[in-house]
Chains A and B, each alone.
Chain A
Amino acid sequence: MFDIREEKFEVDDLKRQLVAPECGGFVCFEGWVRDHHQGRAVKGLRYTVYRELALKEGRRIIDEAHERWPDVKVCCVHRVGMLDIGDLAVWVGASSAHRNEAFEVCRFLIDEVKSRVPIWKEEFYADGTSEWMGCSGCASGK
């Protein structure tokens, strides 16, 4: 399952979807909003999304994970909107018979989501300024 949520969500509900008698290991990754970035004090951030495309691409990533690791159960949810320090931004969970597959697919999912799902992050700083992330080298085409 891949989803985009506008509001805070409970990870226990997601984790329950991955519990199965044949699974002996569970791995999750949580991305949280931190209070600093490159030496600057961050007070919050906003994620925006191209929802239709993000849902398509996110579900393709889930399908690819199922193809590569047929016996692993996976789930990923990404928050959008305004987030405060400490808020959960993204949750990835994977369960499998053994731990190796669960670690591998969890890493695969978060890496693919970060690079392929159309979501953007604008950071707001304590000094009142803000900046779009991921674009520091773009102006020069790097």
Chain B
Amino acid sequence: MKVEVTYFGMLGAQAGMHKETVITDASTLEDLFAERASALGITLPMTSVRAAMDDEIRDWSTSLEDGAFIGFMPPFCGG
């Protein structure tokens, strides 16, 4: 399936890009993050990252949906 992935904050710096379109066999958000972290050299551990799909925070076990917008987010630091 095909998904749009956005890397926020320091993840964008580690990935070397802010957004990409990915064709993937991953079935869950966890699988997708592991795949992209390995491919792009992201070193931030998944335990420090939160995932969103279609503008809502989701559990890592959430199934991917074709055409979804995925966001991977490091710890928040507003204020």
Tell me the A residues contacting B by CB distance below 8 Å. Answer: 31, 47-50, 52-53, 56, 78, 89-90, 110, 113-122, 132-135, 138-139, 141
Contact = CB atoms under 8 A, between A and B. Distances in A.
B17 interface: no
Contacts of A113: 78-79
B45 A50 contact: no
Given A50-B52, A117-B76, A121-B77, 12 more contacts: A50-B6, A50-B8, A52-B55, A56-B56, A78-B79, A118-B8, A118-B71, A120-B10, A120-B77, A121-B78, A138-B75, A139-B44
Nearest to A48: B9
13 contacts: A48-B9, A50-B8, A53-B52, A78-B78, A115-B76, A120-B76, A120-B78, A132-B10, A134-B75, A134-B76, A135-B9, A135-B44, A135-B77
B5 interface: no
B45 A135 contact: no
Contact of B44 (A110, A117, A122, A138): A138
A111 to B, nearest CB: 9
B48 A90 contact: no
B16 to A, nearest CB: 15
B78 A50 contact: no
Contact of A114 (B47, B55, B73, B76): B76
A72 B79 CA distance: 22
Contacts of A117: 76, 78
A47 B8 CA distance: 11
Contacts of A52: 55
B45 A138 contact: yes
Nearest to B43: A139
A125 to B, nearest CB: 16
Given A53-B56, A53-B71, A120-B10, A138 B48 contact: yes
A125 B48 CA distance: 25
Contact of A119 (B6, B71, B78): B78
Contacts of A122: 9-10
